[in-house]
Amino acid sequence: MDFESSFEPEDEELEDEEQTLDAGISAANEVVSAPGRLVSGVQGLLEPIRVATAPGEGDQEQSPPPPTTGYDPDQLRRVRTLLAEEPLIAGATRSPSHQQTSLWMPWVFLLIGVAVAVPILFQWARPLGQARQWPGVAEAFSAINRLQNGDTVQVLWAYDPATAGELDLLAAPLVQHMLDKGARLEIISLLPNGPATARRLVSGVRRIRSQEPGITLDQSPIDARFVPGGAMVLPAFGATPAALAVVFGAQAEDVQAWLELVAPRNRTPVVAVTAAGADPVLRPYLDSGQLKGLVSGFDGAASYSRLLYATTGQPPNQLQLAQQLVGQNFALIAFLALIVTGNLVAALTTGRRHE
């Protein structure tokens, strides 16, 4: 293979651009999707910008078109955005079309926004109810409850401020539980913003706990560091013995990476604490015993806090959890109203069109 010419296409190569492009299109239509996770997302707010090219991709090279599917580009974009586990805030919304009857997306957002914001603004305390305790929460509680004073816990802090709104709710009771047991947390993060997020949460839990009478927590500096290099560096942590490993991850991939690259090496039991969206992907790992416990979403946080409250005292985020429960109930009502309205509109307009 002439590696040099493939690294940077020569001018004469570009003369055959049309034929190459045609061949590329036909090849792309037959290409099987690159292997990857069934559900995956990107960290951050914007689509990643490609800053480097692989050998064989010149500046003038035309990228092959994506394989054809049965969906139009807008449908594909929406599905991808919905299934990405990381929230994608930036996204253009379409103006209402006069040709077709459809809900204008900003109205949908506005309805959900009002349904969630009003109870928070007016501090409504109902409807509250009780969050469902999924399998894996009690097991996670038991795994942490078995820790002895001075035990080392490896912590992979795989979330940053983009998802802290949800993950802080989950991390607070677990961190409090581990600190109460006197565990020594060795926090690493593959995200540059991870250690700062970890320090903020751990110091917040320490501050609130130390205000309670009779509670004395370790006030030594928080061992949280950023490890550059991505998941490739994770096997290095498999050489470290620990009593327990806890992965705080916004995405399922972070937990999977730990289970694939670290857990088989040091055989340390793993507890996963994740966003609600990552739960279905990780549940098979709980069933297979690779995960000792799985806590996810606001309901996982509420369940864990309930268990903690029953044994060690007041959890640190009681107010936020109550507001989450009320907000989730109102959001659910808004979603149900939207689904019913959407189906009614669709049924009525379809009938009219048939006439």
Query: Binding string, 273-312, against another protein, x = CB under 8 A?
Result: --xxxxxxx--xx-xxxx-----xxxx-------------
Residue 306, amino acid: R
Residue of 166, 185, 137 whose CA lies nearest to 310: 137
Query: Distance (Å, rounded) from C-alpha 292 to C-alpha 258?
Result: 13
Name the segment binding another protein (CB under 8 A); options: 53-61, 174-182, 200-208, 240-248. Answer: 53-61
DSSP conformation class of 124: -
User: Which C-beta is closer to another protein: that of 44 or that of 64?
Assistant: 44
Binding to another protein in span 56-75, by CB under 8 A: 59-60
Q: 141, 166, 176, 201: which one contacts another protein (CB under 8 A)?
A: 166
Residue 81, amino acid: T
Extract the runs of DSSP E, i.e. beta strands, from 53-175: 152-158
Query: Measured from the CB of residue 64, what is the shortest distance to another protein in angstroms?
Result: 20
Name the segment binding another protein (CB under 8 A); options: 17-25, 140-148, 160-168, 306-314. Answer: 160-168
Query: Measured from the CB of residue 7, what is the shortest distance to another protein in angstroms?
Result: 6
Binding to another protein in span 13-32, by CB under 8 A: none
For 164-278, where are the alpha helices, taking DSSP H only? 164-180, 194-210, 252-261, 263-266
Query: Distance (Å, rounded) from C-alpha 322 to C-alpha 305?
Result: 11
Query: Measured from the CB of residue 242, what is the shortest distance to another protein in angstroms?
Result: 17
Say if CB 270 and CB 245 are below 8 A apart: yes
Half-sphere exposure (CA, 13 Å, Cβ side) for 323?
15
Three-class SS of residue 188? strand
Does the N-terminal peptide bond of residue 280 adopt cis geometry, omega within 30 degrees of 0? no
Task: Return the structure tokens found at 74.
Answer: 């807008």
DSSP conformation class of 212: S
Residue of 211, 194, 99, 116 whose CA lies nearest to 156: 194
For residue 257, state whether it binds another protein (rule: CB under 8 A). yes
User: Which C-beta is closer to another protein: that of 180 or that of 299?
Assistant: 299
Query: Measured from the CB of residue 186, what is the shortest distance to another protein in angstroms?
Result: 15
Binding to another protein in span 196-235, by CB under 8 A: 225-228, 231-232, 235
Burial of 54 (0-12, 13-18, 19+ CB in 10 A): exposed
Angle separating helix axes 252-261 and 279-287, nearest 10 degrees: 30
Query: Measured from the CB of residue 152, what is the shortest distance to another protein in angstroms?
Result: 19
User: Which C-beta is closer to another protein: that of 252 or that of 307?
Assistant: 252
User: Which C-beta is closer to another protein: that of 333 or that of 348?
Assistant: 333
Query: Measured from the CB of residue 216, what is the shortest distance to another protein in angstroms?
Result: 29
# binding residues, another protein (CB under 8 A): 83
Q: 198, 205, 263, 307: which one contacts another protein (CB under 8 A)?
A: 263
User: Which C-beta is closer to another protein: that of 21 or that of 261?
Assistant: 261
Quote the radius of gyration of the chain (alpha carbons, Å): 25
Residues contacting residue 184 through CB under 8 Å, at least 6 positions apart: 150, 151, 152, 153, 218, 223
Query: Distance (Å, rounded) from C-alpha 214 to C-alpha 212?
Result: 6
User: Which C-beta is closer to another protein: that of 333 or that of 346?
Assistant: 333
Binding to another protein in span 76-135, by CB under 8 A: 82-83, 85, 87, 89-93, 95, 105-106, 109, 112-113, 116-117, 120-121
User: Which C-beta is closer to another protein: that of 164 or that of 215?
Assistant: 164
Binding to another protein in span 314-353, by CB under 8 A: 320, 323-324, 327-328, 331, 335
Name the segment binding another protein (CB under 8 A); options: 164-172, 174-182, 216-224, 305-313. Answer: 164-172
